[in-house]
Amino acid sequence: MANRKPRAGALLTLEEVYRKPVGPASDPKSLYALLLRFVAWRRERNWSETTLKTQTHHDYRFILWAAERGLNYGAEITRPILERYQRHLYQYRKANGEPLSTRTQRTALQPLQVWFRWMAQQNLILANPAADLELPRLEKRLPRTILSVDEVETVLGLCDLNTPMGIRDRALLELLWSTGIRRGEVAKLEIHSPDFSRRILTIVQGKGKQDRVIPVGLRALRWLRRWLYQVRPEVLVNPECKALFLAMDGVEGLTTSGITMAVVPYLRASGIDKGSCHLFRHAMATQMLENGADLRWIQAMLGHRSVESTQIYTQVSIRALQTVHASTHPAEQDMEEETGLLADLSASDEREPPDSPKS
């Protein structure tokens, strides 16, 4: 699994960018040289490697596009050039014939805004051509799938508890549901991350290079304890590895892709066709909100910098809204006194199977 080929369109690593110079790369004023200088500048200021990888990938793609049109220097890039590139992204079609999503288009353009602003601030170009570039507007979309408690329990129940991998996966799934942490944060957990006496989990350098401490439920802790103290020692081959969740070869910890590959088969086997680790994050937040948790506490659990990111769960958690609707809408007030045709219709609905053919 670790040696599988990257999918088409996968993000380029920084090493790949370094190995593939574009245009007059030795000229310090070339776009390629300026990109490498920008990467070094951000590394000196301790930007996250994930952010660097994502933004460098999209800046590099722009350099390739510009080089095909004979544009190799920062001074040659103007606002109309960037707008041409924006149209290129809008008109681009993937291998399956689908266009790039609005979010993908924005993700490709925003790093250019950051990069050209830096060039202007460093006096490497006279003016910032991306200063007033208008990005595509994002649609406000809700999570497509929100697992119910029963659905989560079904997924958890699919782990084969007679095997070390099944116990590892059960502990992993229980932790994802209990805490809602990201898969990237799971990959960084070490054997000392859970504190069983205080019932907490310490996440070091999560998204945005932020540390945080969050509670863990007793049930998840029981499974973690079983994995950590009874099963993990049997799997471990490399004593130097401190990762909480090991790959089954016992040499290294699970990577982010390894975590996905561990979780997805259980979701698919339970009939959930789309989604991966983030489904447990959505489920935890929505279910806690429906059970009365304050939005600020859920924000702290999820590690959101802004409560606006957490507010999306108020739109998918409709139990309270359903209660208000049932108790206040006039058409619902007389449901307990159904008579005549309405009572006949209700009785008919109860007798008729949901998928029975209609005449």
- Condensed to tens digits (0 to 9), the pLDDT of residues 142-196 reads 667 788 899 999 999 999 999 999 999 999 999 999 998 989 899 999 999 999 9
Q: Which of 79, 106, 268, 278 is catalytic?
A: 278
Nearest to 255, CA basis, from 203, 184, 176, 202: 184
Task: Give me the pLDDT at residue 1, please.
Answer: 35
Q: CB–CB of 176/263 below 8 Å?
A: yes
Largest CA-CA distance found in the chain, in angstroms, rounded = 86
Task: Give me the pLDDT at residue 23, please.
Answer: 86
Task: Give me the pLDDT at residue 356, please.
Answer: 46
Nearest to 231, CA basis, from 242, 218, 245, 241: 245
> In angstroms, rounded to a whole number, what is the distance separating the alpha carbons of residues 269 and 155?
8
Q: Which of 58, 182, 232, 282 is catalytic?
A: 182
Q: Which domains does the chain have, with CATH numbers?
A: 14-121 (1.10.150.130), 149-316 (1.10.443.10)
Q: Which helix (H) or strand (E) holds 174?
A: helix 164-179
Q: Which of 58, 183, 207, 232 is catalytic?
A: 207
The model's pTM: 0.65
**Average confidence (pLDDT) per 10 residues, the chain, 359 residues:** 44 77 90 94 87 91 95 94 96 92 92 96 94 84 78 95 96 94 91 94 77 91 96 94 94 93 94 89 86 80 72 62 72 60 55 49
Q: Which of 57, 168, 281, 282 is catalytic?
A: 281
> In angstroms, rounded to a whole number, what is the distance separating the alpha carbons of residues 214 and 201?
5
Phi and psi at residue 112, in whole multiples of 5°? -65, -40
Respond yes or no: is residue 7 known to be catalytic. no
Task: Give me the pLDDT at residue 20, please.
Answer: 85
Q: What radius of gyration, in Å, describes the C-alpha atoms of the chain?
A: 26
Respond yes or no: is residue 87 known to be catalytic. no
Q: Taking the CA of residue 268 as centre, how many other CA atoms within 13 Å lie in the half-sphere pointing to its CB?
A: 6
Question: Alpha helices of 303-355 — where are they, by DSSP H?
Answer: 307-310, 312-316, 319-328, 330-333, 340-351
Respond yes or no: is residue 207 known to be catalytic. yes
Beta strands in the chain (DSSP E): 194-195, 200-203, 212-215
Respond yes or no: is residue 313 known to be catalytic. yes
